[in-house]
Amino acid sequence: MSQMRLKIAFAGTPDIAADVLSSLLEAGHEVVVCYCQPDRKVGRGKKITIGPVKQVALDNNIPVEQPLKFDQSTNELELTPVQQLASYNADLMIVIAYGLLLPLSVLDTPRFGCINIHASLLPRWRGAAPIQRAIESGDSQTGITIMQMNKGLDTGNMLLKKTLPISSEETGSSLHDKLSILGSESIIQYMDSVNWHSEPNRRSSDYDADGECLVGEHQNNELSNYAKKLSKSEALVDWALRASEIEKKIRAFNSWPVSYTYLNKQRIRLWKAKLPSELEFSNGAKRTNGTSFSKHTLKEPTDLAFGKIIVEDKQTIKVSCGDGILIEILELQADGSKRMSVSEFLNGKSHWFDSDAQFSE
């Protein structure tokens, strides 16, 4: 434990933030207030639901603040959101997946400013969806960066970095869970490594003459990329893309927003797929015209239309992509049904896949 017991304000909303908050509490750190997004209506019933961070805060009798934005008018106590934050007299604010941009007035309120737990090896991916964009782009590694926040978007000085490899089967969901654990470990390590008694203040007014933060490593802006927020519309599969691009998108968008396509106006979600190997092409698999694939099929494009579906023995669904490579679908889901394997899906819906079957946009 660090030599000085800090009063911490915590800001975050989803599961990954709740896991970090729980770890801070288990490590004995004092959290004096939690900031999270307002409760939302979710599901078909549009029921107001408490978010994960708020639930952890309530379970531990921690005050919760949920401002829509920090420049709004006063609350019932006649305090602005910034004045309300100042009333908690926090030494430090820890932020992860909060969902609101913090103005300079907030960054300047705690004695040691605000630090962010960012799910990327900065400056590689800045923005809202670094986990998914790393997979989508084929990155071989990612990680956690503890960053001193400034008024830019994920542009502050880096305080601690932890690396995590990305496997060829990694999904957005599995990588999220791994980074949640790594983020919790990283913030505890960082908090305990700092001698807060001798640490300089970290408000913006405490920067040096060149405007640089007094702690941490400066980021190289030329190496940064913007990880834009995910949308449901971009999860629609474009079968004209290369098979490798489609496979990475399917993994990246699992478990949200989930890649999808259409067959006879029926929406089908694609949860898992795999690229072919030469071994698979040497086993005598057939085209619809009866000719065999050769080992060269992996490198030489087929003449099938984009999105053309090939069903083999009611066990396998393969789809032609823009580069002529056949990608194999492993798990899928029709609207109104559960997620299932291809064999399960074909057991009940094989009549959907005649010889002319083709996925479309």
Q: What is the DSSP string of 101-125?
A: PPPHHHHTSSTT-EEEEESS-TTSE
Confidence (pLDDT) at 209: 60
Q: Domains of the chain, with CATH numbers? A: 7-227 (3.40.50.170), 233-352 (3.10.25.10)
Confidence bin at 281 (pLDDT 50/70/90): very low
Full DSSP string of 133-150: HHHHTT-SEEEEEEEE--
pLDDT at 71 over 70: yes
For 277, the 3-state DSSP assignment is coil
What percent of the chain is modeled with pLDDT above 90? 74
Cβ 325 vs Cβ 242: under 8 Å: yes
User: What are the strands of the beta sheet with 158-165, ordered from one edge?
Assistant: 64-65, 30-35, 7-11, 92-95, 114-118, 141-148, 158-165
Radius of gyration of the chain (CA): 25
Contacts of 248 (CB under 8 A, 6+ apart): 135, 136, 137, 138
pLDDT at 183 over 90: yes
Alpha carbon distance 41, 155 (integer Å)? 33
* Strands 40-42 and 47-49, sheet pairing: antiparallel
Over residues 316-336, mean pLDDT: 96
pTM of the model: 0.89
Measured CA distances, 17 to 53, 93, 154, 260, 288 (Å): 6, 13, 17, 28, 50
CA angle 258, 259, 263 (to 5 degrees): 125
Residue found by looking up tokens 């400034």 in the block? 150
Confidence (pLDDT) at 298: 43
Over residues 286-307, mean pLDDT: 52
Confidence (pLDDT) at 108: 92
Residue found by looking up tokens 């029709």 in the block? 334
Extract the tokens encoding 210.
């060149």
Residues 250-263 have pLDDT tens digits of: 999 999 999 999 99
What percent of the chain is modeled with pLDDT above 70? 87
Contacts of 54 (CB under 8 A, 6+ apart): 34, 36, 39, 64, 66
Over residues 201-205, mean pLDDT: 70
Mean pLDDT, the chain, as a whole number? 89
Residues 5-14 have pLDDT tens digits of: 899 999 999 9
pLDDT at 154 over 90: yes
Of 307, 297, 240, which is closest to residue 268 (Cα–Cα)? 307
Over residues 331-356, mean pLDDT: 94
Over residues 145-155, mean pLDDT: 93
**259, amino acid identity:** S
Alpha carbon distance 309, 318 (integer Å)? 6
Of 296, 350, 354, which is closest to residue 325 (Cα–Cα)? 296
